[in-house]
Amino acid sequence: MSDSAAPNATLLPVPQRRPDRLTHYLFRYPAKFHPPVVSALLDRYTRPGDLVLDPFVGSGTALVEASVLGRRSVGVDVDPVAVEVSRAKTRRYDVAKAHRASKKLLDQLLPFERNESDYAELMFEDISDEAMNECLAHEGLWIPAIPRLGHWFRRYVTVDLARIVHAIDATRMDAKSRLLLRIVLASIIRNASNADPVPVSGLEYTSHMRRRDEEGRLVNVYALFRGALQKALAAIEEYARSVVVDLPEPVVLCGDATRLPHQLPTEVDAVLTSPPYHNAVDYYRRHQLEVFWLGLTASQADRHRLLPQYIGRPRVAQTTPLLQLPWQPGPLAAHWETRIREVSSTRANDFRHYSQAMALSFAQLAKIVRAGSPVILVVGHSTWNGYELPTADLLQELAGQFELSELFYYPIKNRYMSYTRHNQASIEKEYVLVFKRR
């Protein structure tokens, strides 16, 4: 059932996907920008040399496309994994150095890989706690303080991941190659864990994964890492051939779109971003395993301090700072907040938090976007209780000093972007809202 489907939207002409994949697939990221859409929008609304800002940079798709099309770019994200992934995808690597560092690392890891019969046994019976702890102590290995570590990883997998982390840290190499290898490691963590790799909404050890474990599931961490590394090296070579070399590398900052970092330029030529969907993907939970294994957080308490800054997440605590601000909604936001609160105060708080955050984000953008410059948002209409939330209309109401100049839509064909959650937050079509500052 749909209350509003942006009837005035026109179909966005999107070019065919280029044969090159660049670095877009270094790390599997849910609800990511569709590269041909980004390319079409950059080509339509910016010029070579323009400075483009993505304040919800995610996996860095917009920055990669900007570099190929000759635009300067800067990205911001509150999620530490997103920042690390975006940096890795947009570096100008010395490809020969990256290959040498990779070979050196794989040579160091080769003695640790088990034989086929050992892996056949481990499919059904893990090593003991004592064996794991003895190995960690003997080799001086670090493991992260992930809550319920044994729930998410088999003990031998924990040892093998720790060996790769140790080897990456201990092997002599240039900083960019080390960053690449860290993201390659991050890209296999989900598949090496007990978490179901398919759901994009969060982190779950599903009944499907339990059945796989009961039937015998092989997890060869070294083989996963080798395969991902081979693809990564091919990707950075392709990116190196495609990027406009006389541009500076994109800048990626860890920060909050509702309070943009002071390191940002005072003016940008365009904004192109895909803000989080309301109540669809919980990136905080989604990246829990990676953020710990990459050493981007030291403890759960450390990580909790970031939680209030995530936009669009479910189950927002009543004490979250944005919910303490005065609630002065426009008619559409007031209508939906009231309607949702009649069914669930928790979901209504989620909606209010999202609306407050997006209004503040628009206010921040107004400080650095010149009058007449485009602010382009790509958004999806999620659903609640069987009704489509008119996100495009809502963002128009929240836009403050910006007015909508054009509205497009396009169907989502990437099935990793089009999904259905248990809360019915289905995303099958995305809208492109082009704002201009008044």
What is the structure's pLDDT at 3?
Answer: 41
Q: Cβ(186)–Cβ(294) under 8 Å?
A: yes
**What mean pLDDT is predicted for residues 129-149?**
97
Q: Cβ(139)–Cβ(163) under 8 Å?
A: yes
Is the pLDDT reported for residue 421 higher than 50? no
* Digit-coded pLDDT (tens) for 243-277: 998 999 999 999 999 999 999 999 999 999 999 88
Q: Which residues contact 55 (CB under 8 A, 6 or more apart)?
A: 75, 76, 257, 260, 271, 273, 361, 364, 365
Q: Would you place residue 422 in the very low, low, confident or very high pLDDT band (cuts 50, 70, 90)?
A: very low
Torsion 321-356-433-4 (CA) sign:
positive
- Our measurement of the distance from residue 302's CA atom to the centroid of its chain's CA atoms, rounded to an integer in Å, reads 20
Name, of 16-20, 30-34, 99-103, 279-283, the range with top average pLDDT: 99-103
- Say which range, 66-70, 219-223, 402-406, 418-422, has the weakest mean pLDDT: 418-422
**What mean pLDDT is predicted for residues 368-391?**
89
Q: Which residues contact 131 (CB under 8 A, 6 or more apart)?
A: 155
CATH superfamily of 10-92+244-286+298-437: Vaccinia Virus protein VP39 (3.40.50.150)
* Digit-coded pLDDT (tens) for 156-169: 999 999 999 999 99
Q: Cβ(363)–Cβ(302) under 8 Å?
A: no
Is the pLDDT reported for residue 200 higher than 70? no
Which residue intervals of the chain bear CATH 3.40.50.150? 10-92+244-286+298-437
What is the structure's pLDDT at 413?
Answer: 65
